[in-house]
Amino acid sequence: MEKYDLIVIGGGPSGYAGAMRAVDFGKKVLLIEKKKIGGAGIYDGVLTSKTMWEYSMKISTIRETIPGYGVDFNSIVKVAREAIFERKTQMTVHLQLLENEIGSDCFRYEKGYGTLLNKNEVEILKENGERKSVYGEHILIATGSRPRYLPNITADEKIILTSDGIKNLTEFPKSLVILGAGVIGCEFATIFSNFGQTKVYIIDKADRILPFEDEDISQTVTHNLEKNGVVVHHNSSLVRMEVKDGKVDYELKYKDGRSEVITVDKALISVGRVPNIEGIGLENAGVKLDARGAIWDDDTQTNISNVWVAGDVTAEMALVSVGEREARHAVVRMFGPAIKPISYKNISSIMFLNPEVAAVGMSEQEAKSKGIPVKVVKLDYSTNARAIAMRKTKGFFKIIVTNDNGMRILGMRAVGEHASSAIQAVAYLVHTNQGIRELADMVHPHPSIIEGVQECLRMLLGKSIYKPYIFKDKLKCYVCENDTCTPVEQL
């Protein structure tokens, strides 16, 4: 029986990153993937949707200048396939060259279905039916997730779709309803409305979309979606959704007692994802699950000491960057020096909406819910020279700090063009538990979006260029304590 220091089950972003980190330690590694290397990080997931988003944003900009401008759906498919091909080729060729460079005795990639036989042995089932068993001192489970289906709705991935079925579209639907007002649902609403050829509806059971984020973020995104023609069904519950004569009928009931039935061409079910844990032999190894049905772990280590886990099969944040970090962390715990547990407080994220939303650390509503006294500073995008130059002045910067002299940064939100480029410096300050003065005193390039962050910090220090007591509608600072927010008049 072949023996390895580490067997990785799952070749998506998490598994791939974990295998490469083990190579750094000179360990003998086996990477097993049942279908396509790269997993949902490439196919039917992040790369595909973000490629579509990038293309849609370009088309949206053109449509602002040339109303009625359209694009053929096949050109979108072509661009997405090119991106997928480029990324999967990079990863596949890298594995092949790596195996040749360091030898198959040190690293090996096997295409097949990996199942735990016990805490050390894994059976690999290949497409031709061949089976073999291998032994690993350590096992890393990184089998990812899949879209959640609802028991009362049949998703055929042709008329009623999940994110996995978007690739089956051959043309723009004239109308599309999206069930779910979270990140994925809102991203696809942004994409299809940007192209201007699809009437988009969103079913939102709450009173606002993106309920996990601050209300001002939700309002900004909602306003822009509605400006782009999207209809948001707030405070609605889905009574039924079914296919009739090749179209989708859905019936809604509202909190005020109203009901309505709407017919659309397609439906997209976007109600979260579930971990891929079935059929991988967790019970054979004694690996336990948590109350949510994900694999239980303590800082990436399961209840079985040599079995580890990373990515969407855990109960933590389902982000590619987080999954990669968890896998690399697990490998260091296996083979490297003692390290601190992973902290999820300074995780940066991007929501590909219109405008984009970037976040790191604590939100304002989270601070309120935890009873943490904070000072909040907010700066409108219209005061930023780069945003003015781009003619993209919709949005704002918001920074949350402790309400004391140290003003330690707890979190930040940026909503607007290039928002994602503005958060990393703040993410570092959150990570290192620092205050605001160092970043406020740096010389930033001009014109740049990050100057907005600097001006926020200057406001907190009472030395901003624009004075908040003059531009009261553009610059705001307030203290939140005991469920009450009080404006700070002078800074």
Distance CA 354, CA 356 (A): 5
For residue 434, the model assigns a pLDDT of: 75
- For residue 103, give the DSSP letter: -
Residue type at 376 in one-letter notation: V
- For residue 354, give the DSSP letter: S
- Per-domain boundaries in the chain: 2-147+274-335, 160-271, 355-487
Domain range 160-271, CATH class:
alpha beta
Give strand pairing partners of 31: 8, 109
Same fold, 2-147+274-335 and 160-271: yes
Reference 10, options 328, 309, 283, 330; nearest CA is 309
Q: In Å, what is the CA distance from 188 to each residue of 50, 130, 219, 375?
A: 10, 40, 18, 34
For residue 134, the model assigns a pLDDT of: 97
Residue-wise DSSP of 374-399: EEEEEEEGGG-HHHHHHT----EEEE
- With a CB cutoff of 8 Å and minimum separation 6, the contacts of 148 are 269, 271, 272, 273, 274
Residue-wise DSSP of 115-153: EESSSSEEEEE-TTS-EEEEEEEEEEE---EEEPPPTTS
Is cis: bond before 447, omega within 30 of 0?
yes
Domain 2-147+274-335: what homologous superfamily? FAD/NAD(P)-binding domain (3.50.50.60)
Structure token pair of residue 331: 């490998």
355-487: CATH topology is Enolase-like; domain 1 (3.30.390)
For residue 490, the model assigns a pLDDT of: 52
For residue 116, the model assigns a pLDDT of: 98
pLDDT by residue for the chain (491 residues), tens digit each?
899 999 999 999 999 999 999 999 999 999 999 988 998 888 888 899 999 999 999 999 999 889 889 899 999 999 999 999 999 999 999 999 999 999 888 999 999 999 999 999 999 999 888 999 999 999 999 999 999 999 999 999 999 999 999 989 999 999 999 999 999 999 999 999 999 999 999 999 988 999 989 999 999 999 999 999 999 999 999 999 999 999 999 999 999 889 999 999 999 999 999 999 999 999 999 999 998 889 999 999 999 999 999 999 997 778 899 999 999 999 999 999 999 999 887 788 899 999 899 999 899 999 999 999 999 999 999 999 999 999 999 999 999 999 998 888 899 999 999 998 888 878 888 878 777 887 787 787 899 898 999 999 999 998 999 988 889 899 999 999 887 888 886 54
- Sheet (strand 175-179) strand order: 160-161, 266-269, 175-179, 199-203, 231-233
